[in-house]
Amino acid sequence: MACIPVPLPGTFAVMSIDPVASLEYLDDPQALLACEKLEQKNYVVYVKDGNFFDRTNSYHDYTVEFLLDELPHAVPDQGIEPSMSIPVLPTTAHPLGREPLRPTSGALPWSDCYLSPFHGAEVRAGAAIFEEDAPLYELAPRERGRHDRLMTIDTARRRALQEAMKMRQTYASNVSSMRPLADNAASTSHSPPPPDLDEGEDSASEYSVEDWEDSNDTADTLDSDDPGPSYLFPAHGAPPVVTFTHDFSTVDVLHTPSEFFAEVEALDRIAEASRARRRAATEVDTGRVSNALEGYDDEKPTNLLLGPSATRGKKEPRVERFIRAVRRRLRRIVCVLGPGVGE
């Protein structure tokens, strides 16, 4: 069997976080020791895209979608519906009757398999490795195109639901502010009904590509802090470093996206503790230098820094420049480390 690069976009793969590689940039042995104690789980994902052929970077960026063992839960306040998903063989059930995606190597080895555009993540991985003798669960170009089209349709429907929700909230706010200006009975009896979705939009029916294009016209009116694909999870810093394999024998159950992001949050806590230690150490060093300079008089420098000749008139400007330079360096250290230093 020929060797293939891992991960290959358009394939299903097993992904796990590499905590040490994720935080090695901190250059903190204590943080890396904490990383080694973390537990990592294996997650089955669909590798949507990536740039593993880029040899100029140590790590390459990938967009992945988690393979779910059930339909995604409804989140009405986020405009999310269970039907915003795609089954993958061997799963065939779907609220809208969508045809399942069919991997080239046949059905996946789990009974319930779904993908959703709102359960994904951005990750980094090192240079692609090559594996052989592992079945490759890949989507053919036609299936990849169908996947992308359905994900686009679901994203458009979510935007439309969010826009309708925003209109209802605006209407309710306007009515509430107008009531004190009019008679209570009159305002309540003659108030028009709040705007609602059209009958077709309120049902879990398929959106067409034209619907998506129309909804894009209103995308700019949505809140700028729209959380995007990983809406269920908090935002993090740099994407975690992960490893990939196409060997599914290491996976017994499908772990959830929330478990993945719990691991990411553990990394965030270790990184924050490392930064706090570095700020504290810098505060101590800053205090020591400040105390050392505290006894020096700018007008009459002592001879402790430059010897007996430092008190002579010709040497005074030189000492003053030295003290000013030290103070500038201290200010730069504080600025680089950010708020909280020295407080």
Does the pLDDT value for residue 307 go beyond 80? no
Whether residues 120 and 42 fall in one domain: yes
The answer to whether 124 and 60 have CB atoms below 8 angstroms apart is yes
pLDDT at site 1 = 46
Whether residues 198 and 259 fall in one domain: yes
285: in domain: no
Whether residues 137 and 240 fall in one domain: yes
Beta-bridge mates of residue 177: none
Closest Cα to residue 139, out of 147, 131, 129, 150?
147
290: in domain: no
Tokens coding 265: 């949050």
286: in domain: no
Place of tokens 């270790």: 270
Whether residues 299 and 256 fall in one domain: no
Whether residues 242 and 319 fall in one domain: no
Rounded Cα gap, residues 45 and 108, in angstroms? 12
The tally of domains found in the chain comes to 2
314: in domain: yes
DSSP string, 232-292: TS---SSPPEEEEES-GGG-SS---HHHHHHHHHHHHHHHHHHHHHHHHHHHHHHHHHHHH
Whether residues 233 and 105 fall in one domain: yes
Place of tokens 């975690």: 240
Torsion of CA 299, 303, 307, 313, to 10 degrees: 30
Does the pLDDT value for residue 116 go beyond 80? yes
The answer to whether 35 and 18 have CB atoms below 8 angstroms apart is no
Whether residues 189 and 306 fall in one domain: no
pLDDT tier, 270 (very low <50, low <70, confident <90, very high otherwise): very high
The larger pLDDT score, comparing residue 229 to residue 280, is at 280
Whether residues 96 and 138 fall in one domain: yes
CA distances, 285 to each of 278, 281, 326 (Å): 11, 6, 13
pLDDT at site 332 = 72
342: in domain: no
- Eight-class DSSP state of 295: T
Does the pLDDT value for residue 196 go beyond 60? no
Rounded Cα gap, residues 208 and 213, in angstroms? 9
In the chain, which ranges are continuous DSSP H helix? 19-23, 29-36, 141-178, 184-189, 199-202, 209-217, 257-294, 316-337
The answer to whether 142 and 150 have CB atoms below 8 angstroms apart is no
Mean pLDDT for 111-138 is 83
Share of the chain above pLDDT 70, in %: 62
Domain end, chosen from 224, 255, 271, is at: 271
Window from 70-74, 184-188, 252-256 with minimum mean pLDDT: 184-188
Q: 306 is in which domain, residue-wise? A: 295-337
Does the pLDDT value for residue 89 go beyond 50? yes
Whether residues 310 and 263 fall in one domain: no
190: in domain: yes
Q: Which residue pairs, CB below 8 angstroms and at least 24 apart, start in 25-29?
A: 26/271, 26/274, 26/275, 28/274, 28/277, 28/278
Whether residues 92 and 211 fall in one domain: yes
244: in domain: yes
Does the pLDDT value for residue 203 go beyond 90? no
What is the CA angle 107-108-109, rounded to 5? 115
Does the pLDDT value for residue 93 go beyond 90? yes
Whether residues 267 and 306 fall in one domain: no
279: in domain: no
Does the pLDDT value for residue 262 go beyond 90? yes
Tokens coding 52: 């593993």
Whether residues 248 and 311 fall in one domain: no
Residues 222-251: tens digit of each pLDDT: 333 443 444 444 445 678 999 998 888 889
Q: Would you report the helix, strand and coil content of the chain in percent, each value rounded to 5?
A: 45, 15, 40
Does the pLDDT value for residue 342 go beyond 90? no
